[in-house]
Structure 1
Amino acid sequence: MVIRQLGAICAITLLLSGCIQTQNARNIEMFKKGNSQCYNRTTMPHTFVVDAHNHFRPFGGKALPINELNSYFERLEILFVNVFGIGQMVPLECDYFYNCPSALVKPSIKNDFSNAANYYEHAPQGTRLTLSMSFPDLNAPQDIAYKMELLEQEYPNTFTWMGEVNLVKQALFINRHRATAIENIAQWDEFMAKLRSPRGPSSTPIPISIHADIGSNKEPEKYLYLMEEVLRQYPDNPIVWVHMGLSRELTNLDPKRHTEILSRLLDKYPKLMLDISWRVLYDEYFKHDAIRDHYVAFLNQYSTRILPGSDFVATDTKRFKHYAKEVELTSYINQFLDDDAFRNIALGQNYFDLMNLDFEAPEICKG
């Protein structure tokens, strides 16, 4: 375990401390189908190679230049990244919603256009980016399909993901965000059908990443019915429930009850997946040994249904050390997974299967 941790530390501090990995460096060639190189968990990092949850645009204010972000991925050997915008934005003078508690948050399509323009101007060489539509207001779904068409007309076959979109995000209640009304979920038919049947060279359905708080410390399952309703009405859509439904507002949910909820829904809805992004999972759950062991068992059991991610928000006040820390904490639990789960989650096999990509995770070295 010590050697394995040293490999991860080397990845995290690659250029900050002079620790350089050459013989065991991760690169895109290692993940091409047919590659025979195995992944040595004792000498190579436990940090994820897929960041399926990364916000290239901040809530407001200036964003980190995409070239700088690309350099972070290269330094940490992160090879596949989902390019999210921000589904609910605050005025430009604010960088985070919690710094402007009276500001109104409003969905906007402009950060999706910005991400696409930046991508075509500065596409990285060593990292594969997947652009995501983050604009939808799930409480006002009537124009979502139309705006999807606008993006498609301007950038054909470019956006192959949707999200992160907010079904209910209690952190934004102070900014006048409200939980999606259950009657509005029935009005998603048009855009959810478009996600199931995309145009272009790939016929792979477009996944949607949904932020849906289960509840709060006072009412732990207050909003669970909303995600259950989404799943009931759209069982054929690939849906990624981000942060496993947890949040800063829900830090005392009994782990056994939590995994009971998730297991029931995963068993009932085969298209449902979870992501384990955001450091709140580490801070409140995974770093505690007894709780961690419970979640490791859960992740091993449902290892084909889990995606990794950082939930990094690329405001220009952040630097490499901030992203590296988020990667370190959100990858922490990977080192305790069994080999199958490690390959599916940390090495990205679930992501490749979901997106029908021409990549595969290397096998884990034996012995």
Structure 2
Amino acid sequence: MRGLLLIAAALVCSPAAARTAATQQGTAYLFNDSHFHLTNYVQKGTDINAYLEIMGDKVGRSTLFGIPLQQTWSYENSGDYAPTYYLQSDAPLYYYSFTDAFIASAYLSLPPESRQRLDPMITGFNPSDMYAVDHIRRVLETFPGVFSGIGEFSIHKEFVSSKVAGDVASLTDPALDRILDFAAEVGLVVILHSDIDMPFAKANTEPVYLKQMKDLLRRHPKTVIIWAHTGLGRVVHPAVSQATSDTAERSPNHLEILEQMLADPTLRHVYFDISWDEVAKYAISSPEVEKRVAAALERNSDRFLFGTDNVAPADQATQLRVFHLWDPVFRQLSPEASLAVRRGNYERLFDAARVKVRQWERVNVASKNSR
């Protein structure tokens, strides 16, 4: 009887209360997805209703964003072959701002109860453009009540950055500082992709972009920032450098770099997502590595978020594949740490963002519309 009353109450109470009641009834989603692309590099993807079916009873909540870059189909380059991925053509990529309107429209096409499971993100801006903040503001004004954050957007990204038409994005660009300042003002969660190092970097040296990244993060202590993939990539490998002689100084490996950042009180606002199958392959490369990764997650379970980094999946099996790659690591975590990484940290950050962004919209969008 008590269970029936809880379910009945959930039908008439707030979405947050409904989620709580569902949890009390034993609903146990595997994870919330902190990193998900509904569309690909030519702005095609999974139908929003189909994605909810794919989430099913396995994925509780999910970020929702497209890809801010569009691959050019240059006939001179690939002829009748239409590339759908950035590695399939030498033609440039360009920023595709309509992605935000598409994501918002897809989200708004859903009934309110389905929207509660999704957190749309703004991505269609050029981070090297001082006007990028104006784009983000216009999106919030045009679609109030929709977006919870910005990203995933990229600064340094292997094989991608060099293909983007126009200025090269940089961690030292004032345009990026303006974006992060505005995110703090509004309460937007930021998902930032920036490789920690250059591709095929020399071993036993500090990652090229590490200092710039830490300097950037420290300049924005009031912004909630999630560093996508912990700075790793397809060929940007985790540092595993060791001393070359008895007297040589050993450089920190990737996990040590992360734990140094996690222990730094000036970086308490920084979180790390462990999305992408390319990242998983490093974490499960050997039993010893699995053990070390699990220990790092256990010690810092309040600072990591799981995500798939899937792009327009066709079915649930595809959506779950990346999650199950992490099974050897998750099995070694305490129940509390596992729950935090898989679900809890997502809910904490994005629930707070929803409240802050809606409050900013009530003040700023309403005041603009009344002029």
The reply to whether TM is greater than 0.5 is yes
Q: Structure 1, residues 58-93: CA drift from partner, whole Å, max 9, x if none?
A: 11152121111111001x521100002213221364
Match of 2:63 among 82, 103, 114: 82
Cα pair 1:80 1:128 within 8 Å, conserved: yes
Cα pair 2:127 2:175 within 8 Å, conserved: no
Moved more, 121-130 or 221-230: 121-130
Match of 1:169 in 2: 157
* Higher-RCO chain (CA-CA 8 Å, sequence separation at least 6): 1
Match of 1:208 among 184, 190, 196: 190
Give the letter aligned to residue 355 of structure 1: F
Identity level (%): 20
Give the letter aligned to residue 303 of structure 2: R
Q: For 1:214-293, list aligned pairs within 5 A.
A: 214-215=196-197, 216-219=199-202, 221-251=207-237, 253-254=239-240, 257-268=253-264, 269-293=267-291
Residue 336 and residue 66 in structure 1: after superposition, are their counterparts in 2 closer, same or farther (change >3 A)? Answer: same
Structure 2 runs not aligned, ≥5 long: 1-15, 74-81, 242-251, 355-371
Structure 1 runs not aligned, ≥5 long: 1-27, 199-204, 360-367
* CA RMSD, 1 decimal: 2.9
Give the letter aligned to residue 202 of structure 2: E
| Bigger fraction of residues in helix | 2
Give the letter aligned to residue 312 of structure 2: A
Give the letter aligned to residue 103 of structure 1: A
Match of 2:184 among 183, 196, 208: 196
Task: Give the Cα separation in 2 of the matches to 1:233 and 1:358.
Answer: 20
Match of 2:306 in 1: 308
Note the C-alpha offset of 1:30. Answer: 8.2
Match of 1:180 in 2: 169
Task: Give the Cα separation in 1 of the matches to 2:113 and 2:147.
Answer: 19
For the pair 1:355 / 2:350, whether they are aligned, the reply is yes
TM-score, with structure 2 as normaliser: 0.76
Note the C-alpha offset of 1:31. Answer: 4.3
Number of positions where the alignment pairs a residue of Structure 1 with one of Structure 2: 314
Moved more, 246-255 or 227-236: 246-255
For the pair 1:132 / 2:125, whether they are aligned, the reply is no
Match of 2:83 among 88, 94, 101: 94
Q: Structure 1, residues 129-160: CA drift from partner, whole Å, max 9, x if none?
A: 001011232222x1111111221222113111
Match of 1:108 in 2: 96
Match of 1:201 in 2: none
Task: Give the Cα separation in 1 of the matches to 2:112 and 2:202.
Answer: 44
TM-score, with structure 1 as normaliser: 0.77
Match of 2:331 in 1: 335
Task: Give the Cα separation in 1 of the matches to 2:279 and 2:34.
Answer: 16
Cα pair 1:54 1:81 within 8 Å, conserved: yes
Match of 2:36 among 15, 39, 54: 54
Residue 153 and residue 311 in structure 1: after superposition, are their counterparts in 2 closer, same or farther (change >3 A)? Answer: same
Task: Give the Cα separation in 2 of the matches to 1:123 and 1:241.
Answer: 31
Residue 183 and residue 296 in structure 1: after superposition, are their counterparts in 2 closer, same or farther (change >3 A)? Answer: closer
Note the C-alpha offset of 1:206. Answer: 1.2
**Secondary structure in 2 aligned to 1:345?**
helix
Cα pair 1:282 1:332 within 8 Å, conserved: no
Task: Give the Cα separation in 2 of the matches to 1:33 and 1:358.
Answer: 22
Q: Rg larger in 1 or in 2?
A: 2
Residue 115 and residue 298 in structure 1: after superposition, are their counterparts in 2 closer, same or farther (change >3 A)? Answer: same
Task: Give the Cα separation in 2 of the matches to 1:31 and 1:122.
Answer: 18
Residue 252 and residue 35 in structure 1: after superposition, are their counterparts in 2 closer, same or farther (change >3 A)? Answer: closer
